Structure 1
């Protein structure tokens, strides 16, 4: 019998990822022709028994299996499903324009586009409620299990909706997603679950409606709203309509139309070779649309396996490889880092579930469950490793157990339970590594005891995304936002109420003007991007140098920011901080959420500071600071640091239209550099030490010159040398010399000495514009052990000279040269 989860057994997860919204994409169009896919049978003969077998498979996939309905969390979840379904049955009143009072889907003369969106959303919500009712009929222990009279009432509700509004001939209005993905997914799930209760006329009405709103032409070209996660969701709609209508051609089309999703892309929506995943052309989205894609792909692969329409395109392996290259790097202790979740971070209280929340933990769990599900279509070796990864994330997910998560469906809970209960699965630990994602301007650094994620923006990646009234104040999430978590502490930092209460101008790590921005400043859907190219860096896989030429959103602010990711911490340098907006500019060293009653101590140079709310003080030339329960900060160049304690009240409705207006309060402790009004060539330097004790922070400050030396911090170059690690790293904003390094053009360089007498010289072109580059290292080398094809010449000797050819096609990727040192 399945065993209950322990307190540390799980974190919360969201069951529904981001709803796709209608916006143009710039992905290259790929027209699907009948000659394209050799892997899917078109019009393959199939008996009704064969279709019923597939419907049974789908019911098993979306309802789950192998769980005990009397064990928690299943018993409570099933009981609640039954109670909700019974209440919906009682309140269902079919009427023109609605099935439930207060959930209108028709308005003869909507006043605004927003109103039209609201009415179209009610169609989806109505279908989702009917789908949940169908699940209550099919699941055990709901109190409605197998109740045929109840099933007939649900079918009557379906009939009313497809007669009144969702039918062929109806002109679409509002949000396209509600008509093509969200609504029909729920409708077709319900129809599949209750298939034996549907008559031929109703089946025809349903399938004709879906074909009208999602015709074959919806996947005829790979462009617009038919790319990436949206394309997978559209294929799911088409496949399910084939199941319900027993249409072999629709199943073949769904299988065939997935093929354009699988190849790597070099721009726009999709998966990149470096592991980046982008949706809406400019937005890193592995945590939201990517979760949707993984869910849909795992379900479709499992549904069509061993059928005439099996998905056998060899390029699908790119997404299997992406489990560890694109998704796992952003999962930590079960949470999914917000830097790749776009506007989904603003969904604090999902409509219809006032007790729930959508945060990094909830999204993480949904992705983990999808990874487990995808394993069914992967190789035995991949499946075994993914289950081991999942078990590790589950066991370390101490903060927010998923059995309390209202958003995770029974079938996903069952998938995770299967991993927990499998004694043969040994959990894998978090890796110690650095992953740089040049194609989405993100970096992830992992060390024993902590992990960090950096979020930037460039002419390739948006400052932030807002749309459909969501994420109205996310303006500065691409301005160098540096988030971090501990292995067994601070995992709640960006969860729960963070986005509703944090000062949007003081996200951790950013440099930003205090200029007041309008809600939704800039274009929708990530249209607003800074006109900069030098964003990225270089890494040897353990350490990294990352930089950002920063230009502020709707301001004149400009700066050069660098982060050097090392063992104990992250060295953060800034230079050239300049603005002419008549506003002050801040660099936020950190902004820790302490909770609604938090009083964590701040210690500066051994002296404890006041704990009263509203306290602020400018610290003159501090050596170090420490926040109890969080970590330490070292200031190698001193300077003037402002400390602030404040209690902030916000509402989810502040950042998402239509969300809860209930006030929420959190306390924050902020450390920042005030560069003043209209700064000219301002600078900063600090070292972040996640999880360090006050004593360790003080010791690090006392020995900084032995452990770390700043080589440069100007608008032409920023660099550090860490003798104990054998690491020298420099971000060159222009051609020049720093220490023993000279470069002929802007680039990023990291050199690491190794114990075997070799050194790895890591070089990248973050601008993606260089057709030639020469790097000179004034260090004696005896041989070049290895070099990439981009190196035209590498000459060892008393000075190492490396000449690169055209780097524009490398997309900012690190080029590694291994040399033997004297």
Structure 2
């Protein structure tokens, strides 16, 4: 608090309100930095213990600075050059916040002029229709601007509008921007964005809930509470937010994933104050667990620097022995509508990023993320114990963008910003998704390369200690080699490579057929240098129906890796073609298949493209989980050549069952499930 106050006093004394300036050390108009500094000064004015709390000189300096910026830059009638966001959200939100905080120092004349300016750039009609850039996080920010506008010399009608305009944010959507029933959150039409726009949305909603609680405008819609567990928590691992839902922001700063994780945690604790006690308690335990496990950028210390309100709430939770820290969950979350999957086991976690006919390969815009071309080409992120900084510590500026882990890519050189801007890089492939019973999963992607002729069929089978990876039908006519990147770790750890397996000390083991290539290199970006170990499969120039098979063993020791490589019966590859990909894991009782077309794969038969996961249990029961990743089936028949006696738990979409020497299940219209899995239990 004292540091905040000292900074505010220095800024107060250094202000020079001249033509085209507020401070000499900031460029003008500085849409981000100047309003943010005024806002920070206003906070020092109202918060206790800053040394300038209630200081009249500081209050007047903030008021004068806001009014000067309004006259010089943000005046009604000014030409809103550049990014619309600055004029409608970024600048007014900070100026209004500062003006509200300093209260009477701002005065009626200044208030009237600022209200006029906001009304000019954010007219009421801006909140009239839910479309364009007035959706999702942007809509919440626009409502927050309108609410602040109402608070600046009380305007109940503006408050009514701010609250009413929030209503389209809460219902689930089936296309475009917003929250989906499977937990997906989309912004900019094509991009999964929990870790940026979604974070801003959650913060805005939590703030509005807190401000309006107990007022005539109190919000009662509770759909947003469901999104914490369905949309945000799955992508937080030990306190950081996975890059696969951070869009073009992945390369902004080192440890940006940890910063976003803190922001989401802060919003969850604030929103929890409006939730039912049981929900609040559960969320507090979840955030406490994140904070205790995040050792790379400790959450409480960073909160002291970034967000004093979050620091106070988090400190209270950490100090409360009655709140038990919640461990990382064990299970699988598949979000087909955003082409993302997250798999968790004790000691490790994996995240999968794909692209589809509705989800872009990547997003670039405003000069950001210009080389994120292949982040949607089946990038398999994974974190073992002690490696929570794997993609945080300058990974994105230094990694080879053609060799992202898990991807299959044409090595054709691409220009910076290849493909359409703002995520408009969707490939034609519709079969993207899979089937999960909540613990295990079979996931697949029909991949079409970005600005490339390359095509591939990729499958991942997520298990207890491994991910089995298959590729088939890899074809290209780009005139360059095609590669599958088994892994690309930011590390200088020892790599031991044998004919059928490799081990990266302290990281993982890999099992594969002969022919894998390895590389150790030190890569630089500006003044930053990082070491990498890369393992990849070279499919040659212009391959025709090439394929691959390998097993990733996160956290495995060298002995465990060797033992798995020598156990030829641990996994049976039943099919690996452009028609079907399937495996059998006898020790787990799992038979899983991705049917790119109808046909048979081992004991499984499907009448149409689908994903099937069959799992036998030791108690004489089994589950069969099915999904329609293409989202277009009006009917489906799946046969499992396994003796069965009856159905123990049915599903409304099961329209026919035949048991006996084999099981046949007939399903109705799966298209309406939007790629979600359904599970049937049998004896």
Which band: TM-score by shorter chain?
over 0.9
Structure 2: how far apart are the matches of 1:407 and 1:771? 55
Superposition map of 1:173-572 within 5 A: 173-312=81-220, 316-348=221-253, 357-402=254-299, 403-404=301-302, 408-486=306-384, 488-572=385-469
Residue number in structure 1 paired with 2:558: 694
Superposition map of 1:62-73 within 5 A: none
Residue number in structure 1 paired with 2:480: 583
Residue number in structure 2 paired with 1:64: none
SS, match of residue 186 in structure 1: helix
Structure 1: how far apart are the matches of 2:216 and 2:111? 23
Superposition map of 1:632-781 within 5 A: 632-635=509-512, 638-651=513-526, 663-703=527-567, 705-781=568-644
Structure 1: how far apart are the matches of 2:31 and 2:500? 59
Q: TM-score when scaled to structure 2?
A: 0.98
SS, match of residue 188 in structure 1: helix
Whether contact under 8 Å (2:262, 2:303) holds in the other structure is: no
Structure 2: how far apart are the matches of 1:127 and 1:778? 67
In structure 2, the CA distance between the partners of 1:404 and 1:813, relative to structure 1 (3 Å rule), is closer
SS, match of residue 538 in structure 2: strand
SS, match of residue 618 in structure 2: coil
Superposition map of 1:85-234 within 5 A: 85-101=8-24, 103-105=26-28, 122-234=30-142
Whether contact under 8 Å (1:347, 1:358) holds in the other structure is: no
Of 486, 494, 519, 1:601 maps to: 494
SS, match of residue 82 in structure 2: coil
Structure 1: how far apart are the matches of 2:425 and 2:245? 17
Structure 2: how far apart are the matches of 1:537 and 1:309? 43
Please give the per-residue CA displacement for 1:68-108, whole angstroms capped at 9, x wherever unaligned: xxxxxxxxxx3443343333334322222332236454xxx
Whether contact under 8 Å (1:359, 1:496) holds in the other structure is: no
SS, match of residue 530 in structure 1: coil
Residue number in structure 2 paired with 1:623: 500
Structure 2: how far apart are the matches of 1:489 and 1:695? 20
Whether contact under 8 Å (2:8, 2:41) holds in the other structure is: yes
2:682 matches 1:798: no
SS, match of residue 31 in structure 2: helix
Please give the per-residue CA displacement for 1:428-456, whole angstroms capped at 9, x wherever unaligned: 11111000001100000000111000000
1:146 Cα deviation from its structure 2 partner = 3.0
Whether contact under 8 Å (2:634, 2:668) holds in the other structure is: yes
Structure 2: how far apart are the matches of 1:85 and 1:471? 34
Structure 2 unaligned spans of 5+: none
The runs of at least 4 aligned residues of structure 1 exceeding 6 Å deviation read none
SS, match of residue 222 in structure 2: helix
Please give the per-residue CA displacement for 1:338-377, whole angstroms capped at 9, x wherever unaligned: 00010111211xxxxxxxx452111111101111111011
1:553 Cα deviation from its structure 2 partner = 0.3
- Count of residues in correspondence between the two structures: 682
RCO higher in structure (CA 8 A, sep ≥6)? 1
Whether contact under 8 Å (1:362, 1:405) holds in the other structure is: no
1:405 Cα deviation from its structure 2 partner = 6.1
Q: TM-score when scaled to structure 1?
A: 0.81
1:265 Cα deviation from its structure 2 partner = 0.2
Whether contact under 8 Å (2:304, 2:311) holds in the other structure is: no
1:240 Cα deviation from its structure 2 partner = 0.8
Whether contact under 8 Å (1:781, 1:796) holds in the other structure is: yes
SS, match of residue 645 in structure 2: strand
Residue number in structure 2 paired with 1:115: none
Please give the per-residue CA displacement for 1:725-767, whole angstroms capped at 9, x wherever unaligned: 1110011111111111111111111001122211111111111
SS, match of residue 421 in structure 2: coil
SS, match of residue 180 in structure 1: helix
Structure 1: how far apart are the matches of 2:283 and 2:235? 15
Structure 2: how far apart are the matches of 1:641 and 1:336? 32
Structure 2: how far apart are the matches of 1:419 and 1:404? 16
Superposition map of 1:72-87 within 5 A: 78-87=1-10
Stretch of structure 1 that moved more, 793-802 or 330-339:
793-802
Structure 1: how far apart are the matches of 2:475 and 2:126? 48
1:406 Cα deviation from its structure 2 partner = 8.0
Whether contact under 8 Å (1:441, 1:458) holds in the other structure is: yes
Please give the per-residue CA displacement for 1:491-525, whole angstroms capped at 9, x wherever unaligned: 11000211111111111100111111111111111
SS, match of residue 377 in structure 1: coil
Whether contact under 8 Å (1:366, 1:408) holds in the other structure is: no
Structure 2: how far apart are the matches of 1:466 and 1:202? 39
SS, match of residue 781 in structure 1: coil
Stretch of structure 1 that moved more, 137-146 or 566-575:
137-146
Residue number in structure 2 paired with 1:51: none
Structure 1: how far apart are the matches of 2:18 and 2:367? 30
Please give the per-residue CA displacement for 1:241-282, whole angstroms capped at 9, x wherever unaligned: 101120000111111111110100000000000111111111
Residue number in structure 2 paired with 1:116: none
Structure 1: how far apart are the matches of 2:478 and 2:304? 46
Whether contact under 8 Å (2:390, 2:489) holds in the other structure is: yes
Structure 2: how far apart are the matches of 1:485 and 1:200? 55
